[in-house]
Amino acid sequence: MYRKFKAPYVALAIITLLSAKHNQAAVVDDIELIELAKSSTPLIEHCDNQVTSQSFIDVFECGDELFETRFNALDGVGMDVGDGNRFTRVPRADLNNWLNSTPNRSTGPNAEACNVCHTTETIGQAGDGAGPAGLNVIRDPKRAGITAQFIQRNTPHLFGMAGPQLLAEEMTTELKQIVELTKQQSCRLNQTISRPLRTKGIEFGFITVEPPCLSPTVTINAEGVKNDLVIRPFQWKGNVASVRQFSRGAFHNELGMSPVEMVGEDVDGDFDGVINEITIADNTAMTLYLAGQPRPTSLLELDQIRHELTRRFGEAGVNHANELLLPQLTRRQRDSIRRGERIFHDIGCADCHRSQIMIKQLTFSEPSRHPDFRDDTFPSGQPGIDPDKAITFDITRDQPDNKIEFGNQLIKHLGAFEKDPQGRAIVRMYGDLKLHEMGPRLAEGIDETGAGSSVWMTKELWGLANTAPYLHDGRATTIEEAIIEHGGESTSSQQAFLRLENRMRHDLLAFLNNLVLYFVESEED
């Protein structure tokens, strides 16, 4: 059973580990840790009690606290990365302790808190935005210490994470259903059957099934997804399936806070004298906090809310809109944005950057209801990791933040996903969750995942205006630069952009700059 550790236990854990032989002295060595524990305490407040309660709001709030905590040495943050340092921007394969950490790390540790990299960069002056260029993450996937094989990753924003995961789950289910239906049809007709692998209007290759029924030959020619047909919506290479996997990877790699579910219980995998740094419950809380973040929005939508407040409440509504920092667009600006959206579709950008995709499943569940998006190796019976004791929330209703209110009246729950007339959730992420060949200009020196050095997941554009710099390594300082860097499958759209008249280019950029992150400052903030 995983425990919630208090300060006295941490001190005892450190003493217990004194007999272990570490490769190098830590930034604060074991003796110093014991001295530190006499007058200081760990800063982490573990989330085991909240997860046991199975209350989404309680778990969300505990995850919020974890996100903002600046962990210290007694928490186990960081590790010895040489020269007395606990953090590093450059992976240190030259040091045995970094190279031999369990499990392996490809970067950092980079910082002592999540919000060091995921900074506040939103309209509304609150919330968790995207990290600036100075906080790009440098990775060494080959762990060889060869700088030519290092890669950079631009820090993403964390809004609306439940939407892409639920969308990926539905798409994965539909692709696998096509496989089963094709096998059944081939068996019934006793002939070779081929079908396109299409879900949500997006093509992912095709499948061919040849008889006989008992041992059919199944050939999957996947495009933009691995042959297992699991859509992985996170990371620039589309190699992380779930918010939970994303969260625990960040704890481990970026913060040096080793999750029990990765390193094992009572194991000091990074030689810092501390064990059980992130409990399973802690990662459950962080997962639900990230999944419960508000969705991105647009200037047009925010401007509409301003008009609604003004129409209904007059001068008081205007004053409230000003307090909320809601933009006030001119008619010319609104017209330019709408023309730009048409141009966006006309030149083919929307072929990959799908403006909206509908999903039937409204409930985010931790653990996931989909077997390909959860870990079935965890101990059974525990809330937050047992499917029978899942913690859930409705993505069209339950997010705590971005409720636009006037008095006791809810004007719009801007943080929740919208519904269409059929009751489906609308995910306006401007992406397709598909891998694409992007040409030599965007190729890296190494192939990190085996998909190809110039193959990338379509970057979702929601929140674009607040998340400069752009592209996987932050090389583009403007949206125009990012478009010009496109090649490969997107060459025709890139060329069409370059042929646009200045007026049309201005409208297109007005539309793209209309895609923003908004986080209203609440009374608790």
How much is the average pLDDT of 87-116? Answer: 92
Q: What is the pLDDT, as a whole number, of residue 375?
A: 84
**Cα–Cα dist 427/446, whole Å:** 33
pLDDT reading at 474 higher than 90: yes
Closest to 13 in 3D by CA, of 253, 191, 274: 274
More confident residue, 58 or 136: 58
CA torsion, ordered 327, 354, 398, 310, to nearest 10 deg: 20
How much is the average pLDDT of 435-461? Answer: 96
pTM, 2 dp: 0.93
pLDDT reading at 98 higher than 50: yes
Q: What is the pLDDT, as a whole number, of residue 129?
A: 76
- Among the ranges given (71-75, 127-131, 296-300, 502-506), the one the predictor scored with the smallest mean pLDDT: 127-131
**Cα–Cα dist 105/445, whole Å:** 20
Closest to 278 in 3D by CA, of 48, 39, 11: 48
Q: What is the pLDDT, as a whole number, of residue 134?
A: 62
pLDDT reading at 407 higher than 70: yes
pLDDT reading at 226 higher than 70: yes
How much is the average pLDDT of 381-409? Answer: 91
Highest-pLDDT range among 134-148, 163-177, 385-399: 163-177
pLDDT reading at 8 higher than 70: no
How much is the average pLDDT of 395-412? Answer: 96
The H or E element that residue 52 is part of is: helix 48-53
How much is the average pLDDT of 72-81? Answer: 93
How much is the average pLDDT of 243-270? Answer: 95
**Cα–Cα dist 267/259, whole Å:** 10
Question: Residue 387, preceding bond cis, omega within 30 degrees?
Answer: no
Q: In this structure, are residues 194 and 207 in contact, taking their beta carbons and an 8 Å threshold? A: yes
Q: What is the pLDDT, as a whole number, of residue 6?
A: 36
How many angstroms separate the Cα of 182 from the Cα of each of 194, 207, 216, 223? 7, 8, 11, 18
SS3 451: coil
Predicted confidence band of residue 5 (pLDDT cuts 50, 70, 90): very low
Residue linked to tokens 């600046």: 70
Residue 361: which residues within 8 A CB-CB, separation 6 or more?
166, 169, 170, 425
Residue 285: which residues within 8 A CB-CB, separation 6 or more?
47, 50, 51, 59, 60, 62, 63, 66, 384
**Cα–Cα dist 454/491, whole Å:** 13
- Cβ-count burial 247-265 (b if 16+ within 10 Å, e if not): bbbbbbbbbbbbbbbbbee
**Cα–Cα dist 404/408, whole Å:** 10
pLDDT, tens only, 261-279: 999 999 999 999 999 999 9
Q: Residue 252 carries which side chain, given as an amino acid letter? A: H
SS3 434: coil
- Among the ranges given (24-28, 42-46, 472-476, 505-509), the one the predictor scored with the smallest mean pLDDT: 24-28
Q: What is the pLDDT, as a whole number, of residue 276?
A: 95
**Cα–Cα dist 8/25, whole Å:** 23
pLDDT, tens only, 16-61: 333 333 444 445 666 777 777 777 888 999 999 999 999 999 999 9
Q: What is the pLDDT, as a whole number, of residue 83?
A: 81
How many angstroms separate the Cα of 181 from the Cα of each of 117, 197, 209, 382, 408? 45, 11, 10, 36, 51
- Among the ranges given (135-149, 335-349, 443-457, 490-504), the one the predictor scored with the smallest mean pLDDT: 135-149
Q: Residue 334 carries which side chain, given as an amino acid letter? A: R
Q: Tokens for 6, please give them.
A: 């208090």
Per DSSP, helices labelled H in 235-274 are: 243-249, 260-263
Q: What is the pLDDT, as a whole number, of residue 524?
A: 56
**Cα–Cα dist 212/113, whole Å:** 57
Share of the chain above pLDDT 90, in %: 81
Predicted confidence band of residue 395 (pLDDT cuts 50, 70, 90): very high
pLDDT reading at 204 higher than 70: yes
- Among the ranges given (121-130, 260-269, 327-336), the one the predictor scored with the smallest mean pLDDT: 121-130
Q: What is the pLDDT, as a whole number, of residue 3?
A: 32
More confident residue, 38 or 361: 361
Cα 131 to its chain centre, rounded Å, is 13
Q: Residue 388 carries which side chain, given as an amino acid letter? A: D
Instruction: Kindly report the average pLDDT of the chain as a whole number.
Output: 91
Closest to 123 in 3D by CA, of 520, 412, 525, 411: 520
More confident residue, 414 or 18: 414
Q: In this structure, are residues 356 and 515 in contact, taking their beta carbons and an 8 Å threshold? A: no
Q: What is the pLDDT, as a whole number, of residue 347?
A: 98
Closest to 105 in 3D by CA, of 75, 76, 147, 139: 139
How many angstroms separate the Cα of 183 from the Cα of each of 180, 210, 216, 433? 5, 8, 8, 26
pLDDT, tens only, 362-379: 999 999 999 999 987 776
Q: Tokens for 373, please give them.
A: 């998006």
Contacts 24+ apart (CB under 8 A), 81-90: 81/109, 82/24, 84/27, 85/27, 86/26, 86/27, 86/256, 87/111, 87/112, 87/256, 89/138, 90/138, 90/150
**Cα–Cα dist 436/182, whole Å:** 26
Residue 293 gets which letter from DSSP?
S
Closest to 216 in 3D by CA, of 252, 253, 244, 179: 179
Task: Centre a 10 Å sphere on the Cβ of residue 485 and count the other Cβ atoms it contains.
Answer: 17
